[in-house]
Amino acid sequence: MIVRVSEIPDEGLRVDSPVDLGAVFAEEGWSLDAVGLFVERRGADVLVTGSFAATARLQCSRCLEPLVSRVGPEVDVQLVPAPSAHEQVELGPDDLELDFYRDDTFDLSGLLRSEMDLALPMKALCRPDCRGLCPVCGVNRNTASCSCEVRSTDPRLAPLEALRRQLRP
């Protein structure tokens, strides 16, 4: 959903239906389940606040089994006009929730995709005690066992292992 900043009403713009945003995610199996956003203009700046709920179909980082991840992040983003190509802007630690818009427009769906990416776990797990795949034969250790021998440590890492033993009390 492309929003034109100059057309945001003085009382703000409320987005309460996923249908209003259209297809937010291009990934198969990802869906926007609920949305409650408020977009308001303050001079040239735009504030987007609220929350949304979404579902993502991912793979477990250890065993590669499919899993469903549901997230419901809060949104609190300030959009400011993008600086010109010749102008440099230095952002500080307080500017983590700051983004830019160009040509009097911004993509609200793109903003939700970014917030979704930030809300997803870095390493998705099917369960906290996932045992992963056997590094030798590749069997899923959650569903089957194997009798593979554990490979020895790479000899190139031996100096680091010796250092680790020295540093350990």
Residue 20: count of CB within 10 angstroms of its CB: 13
Separation of alpha carbons 34 and 32, rounded Å: 6
CB 53 within 8 A of CB 30: no
Give the number of C-alpha atoms closer than 13 A to the C-alpha of residue 93, restricted to the C-beta side: 0
Q: What is the pLDDT of residues 103-129, one digit of tens each?
A: 888 888 888 888 888 899 999 999 999
Tokens 């069997």 map to which residue?
139
Q: How many CA atoms lie within 13 A of 39 on its CB side?
A: 24
Higher pLDDT, 61 or 17: 61
Cα–Cα dist 69/30, whole Å: 9
User: In this predicted model, what pLDDT tens digit does every residue of 7-22 receive, in sequence order?
Assistant: 888 898 898 888 878 7
Count of helix runs (H) and strand runs (E) in the chain = 3, 8
SS3 69: strand
* Alpha carbon 162 to chain centroid, angstroms: 38
Structural contact between residues 136 and 149, judged by C-beta atoms closer than 8 angstroms:
yes
Domains of the chain, residue spans = 2-119, 131-169
pLDDT > 80? residue 143: yes
pTM of the model: 0.73
Q: Residues 3, 29, 120, 137: is their CA dihedral positive or negative? A: negative
pLDDT at 169 over 70: no
